Structure 1
Amino acid sequence: MTRRIRQAVVAAVVGVVTTGVALPSTSAARAHDHQGRLWLSVVRGADPDGHERVWAVLTCGPDGGTHPDARAGCDALRAVDGDLTAVEPTSRFCTRIYAPVIAEAMGTWDGRAVRYRATFPNRCEMEAGTGPLFAFGDA
């Protein structure tokens, strides 16, 4: 590397650092630094050992996995800082047909263990109560 090129590189780096261009603040970087990986399952019936179980993996930060709408799932988790019990239920009309389903999740969110299990009277009630988190498969 010639001396002129080296001086140009140093000047460019110093210019970026002193002006703050392209360097996010620490608090802004942490605001979007939610890391998590959850294994989600939906079991048809009230028996957790039921054979009709569907699975999805949801990873956040970056959003992905086998979940069909990873972005919506991760956004729902970010809104409650990974606490599935704090998901705000949506208002929607569900039939009163009793066809119980069990929603389960285990994994980590921001380094904390996550375990969740809830039984709902039917799939519609589950999706109303958990948002996009368990909206996958046909269990």
Structure 2
Amino acid sequence: MTTTLRAIRAGLLVPLALLLAGAAPAAHGAPGHGLPGNWLRLAVTRGDARVGDAPGVLLLCDPPRGHAHAAQACRQLAAAGGDIGRIRSRAGAMCPMLYAPVTASAHGAWDGRRVDYTHAFSNSCVMGAETGAVFDLSG
């Protein structure tokens, strides 16, 4: 075998090994994502926009970062066992009866379980009252 052929094979084996290593599920993340611990990709769309069109943020909770209110959002998620639908509603929230629809979506992993959440709310005030700081993506 020539030196050139060996160099080409060696050059292909390293990227192939890295590709295969990245394809293995992470021990504590969702399959294929390779992120450890508890994390969610969050997005909020307004009106008729599709959920995939909205820019999102990555909320990481081990330690809390990547989100304007990461510590508070992670505490609320921890209290709800990572289930956004179980977050305690804000007591006494007074939201206007204004129809300005928003759709909140979250995808990621919590305590080794996959999280897929999408819910439409009548307006952003109602969304905040029902989901706490999780979808408060304002800085």
Please say whether Structure 1 and Structure 2 have the same fold, judged by a TM-score greater than 0.5.
yes
Percent identical: 38
Query: Cα distance, 1:137 vs. partner?
Result: 3.5
How many Å separate the matches in 2 of 1:95 and 1:88?
Answer: 20
What is the CA-CA distance between 1:46 and the residue it aligns to?
Answer: 4.2
User: What RMSD, in angstroms, separates the aligned Cα atoms of the two structures?
Assistant: 2.0
Deviations for 1:93-128, whole angstroms, at most 9, x for unmatched residues? 111110000000000011110010110000000000
Q: What residue ranges of structure 2 are gaps of 5+ in the alignment?
A: 1-36
1:1-139 equivalences in 2 (<5 Å): 35-49=37-51, 51=53, 53-65=54-66, 67-91=67-91, 92-137=93-138
Query: How many residue pairs get matched?
Result: 103
Report if the CA contact (8 A) 1:46-1:119 is conserved: no
Encode CA deviations 1:43-96: one digit per residue, 9 max, x unaligned: 001443585x2411110111112x101100100110011011111111311111
**Contact 2:98–2:123 (CA under 8 A) maintained in structure 1:** yes
After TM superposition, where is structure 1 displaced by more than 6 Å over at least 4 residues in a row? none
Structure 2 Cα separation of the partners of residues 107 and 50 of structure 1: 15
User: Which has the larger Rg?
Assistant: 1
TM-score by length of 1: 0.68
TM-score scaled to structure 2, two decimals? 0.68
